[in-house]
Amino acid sequence: MKAEEKKKLKDKIAEEIILVKKSIVSLEQTSKPVAPDDAIGRLTRMEALSSQGINEANLRASRSRLSMLEQALKRVDNDPEFGICVECEEAIPIGRLMLMPESQRCVHCADT
């Protein structure tokens, strides 16, 4: 991978990390425990519980993406294998890495 591509990619990953961190903060605020039945109507409570479940799933996904992005950021400089598909050992196109810096497979291998 060229030095300028690495630089672009690192900027992109750093940007993504900031966005994911922001969304984690806002998800944490919306996935607080739901108030008991007598505090709000029963139907509202059902709705609150269901949106809480969605938020928790999003929160888990965001946290795991964050840790993958942080690893990717370290690997750009330190891992000579970064940007190489773990399946077929071909270089992953820079366009794909810019979209999904945490991906370790080329489009072809990710599909199969």
Residues that bind Zn ion (CB under 5 A): 85, 87-88, 106, 109
Smallest separation (angstroms) from Zn ion to the CB of 96: 10
- Shortest Å distance, C-beta 19 to Zn ion: 27
31: closest CA among 68, 57, 69?
57
Residue 4 or 111: the one with the smaller Cβ distance to Zn ion is 111
Q: Tell me how far, at minimum, the Cβ of 34 lies from Zn ion, in Å.
A: 44
Q: Return the closest-CA partner of residue 104 out of 58, 59, 60, 69.
A: 69
- Interacting residues of 108 by C-beta distance below 8 A, sequence separation 6+: 88
Question: Strand, coil or helix: what is 91?
Answer: strand
